[in-house]
Amino acid sequence: MAYLRNVWYAAAWSYEIVAGELFPRTIIEQPLVFFRNERGEVSALQDRCPHRFAALSLGRLEGGSLACRYHGLQFDAAGKCVGNPHGPVVESLRVPTYPAVERHALVWVWLGDPALADPADIPDMSFHDAVPDTAFNKGYLFINASHHLLVDNILDLCHADFLHPESLGNGWITRNRPKVEESGDTLFVEWLGFNEPPTPLFEPELPPGSMCDTWLSVLWRPSGAMVLRSGITLPGEPQAAGKDSLNGHIMTPETARSTHYFHSSTRDFRADDAEYNQQMYQGLRWAFEHQDRPMIEAQQQRIGSANLLDLGPALMPIDIAPVRARRIYERLLASELAGNSGARQSA
């Protein structure tokens, strides 16, 4: 299976990689092990000892180096062998490492050409740091489906009107066609509604019975980092006078048919209400686990190992953004496979 390599992949929430512990995660079929040095900086190594392919993540952290628990070979954070109890330290005893950067509560890893790994290209999730902890909730889900299907799901938010009618949708998204803007390798989709009833999630934030102006948008960056913005204001009021929420939906392929799903939610209202924050988390989590996940996993079963677009789906205008994201992905992938791993066009 071919995957984009010259992209930053979200590998883990920061909290998942605990000081002094080894954290394994497989990304685009590569087993990786993550750990922190004494300054807390994260390293990413191939989770495979070069000697006889033991799992380094079963090893020990000793000082800043990782000791394989099978035969005691020690590697520093750069993958260089720094201890061999059995003979000389030779160049072949090297573990591939990958650029890893911690930013905005996530750890990102670059599995492509290291010369192109520019942290400036990490998808901007700075909204994670712009609110207090009581206005920020987040989680991780493992999904048995292609990352493409999970990207489709977020780029086509009218699904909320049908799949999440008790929380995230009420028909207004479907009633209002989005604009779709492609810019470089990124995609921006925006729905705007005027004088619409609020969705169940936002209803308590308005006076009883009030209508609202409302907005919803997704900024997608390859391969699957998305920022979703949604909000409401009283009809006719500016957005700045309303309630706004920024959310992360980040899809990192494990394999062709399994995905690491990192979701987050922040908001500019009830920002110091820890209990509301927990309710919000529970509500979103329930929707993702019990509504999106079974739907998308069943979709995957029906698609099998094929590419959805090769099976003749009956596409509609609501599929414009999902299809464009797949086209951008295919274009970038073809370019990488052709050896053109040059500079990415930014938005």
The residue (of 60 and 344) whose beta carbon lies closer to its own copies is 60
- Rounded to the nearest whole angstrom, what is the least distance from the CB of residue 314 to its own copies in the complex? 4
Which helix H or strand E contains 335, and what residues bound it?
helix 320-337
Q: Are 135 and 27 in contact (CB under 8 A)?
A: no
CB of 196 vs its own copies, minimal distance in Å? 15
Min dist CB 30 to its own copies, Å, is 11
**Which residues of this chain interact with its own copies, rule CB under 8 A?**
31, 47-48, 50-55, 58, 67-72, 84-87, 90, 92-93, 152, 156, 158-159, 161-163, 171, 174, 294-295, 298-299, 301-303, 308, 311, 313-319
Residue 25 or 48 with smaller CB distance to its own copies: 48
User: Which are the contacts of 243, defined by CB distance < 8 A and separation ≥ 6?
Assistant: 202, 205, 231, 232, 233, 267, 268, 269
Residues 6+ apart with CB under 8 A from 6: 110, 112, 113, 116, 332, 336, 341, 344
Minimum CB distance to its own copies, residue 49 (Å): 8
Q: What are phi and psi for residue 105, nearest 5 degrees?
A: 80, 0
The smaller minimum CB distance to its own copies, of residues 58 and 347, is found at 58
**Residue 158 or 226 with smaller CB distance to its own copies:** 158
Closer to its own copies by Cβ: residue 307 or 346: 307
Tell me how far, at minimum, the Cβ of 310 lies from its own copies, in Å: 12
Long-range (24+ apart) CB contacts under 8 A made by 238-241 are 239/213, 239/215
> Residues 115, 106: contact at Cβ < 8 Å?
no
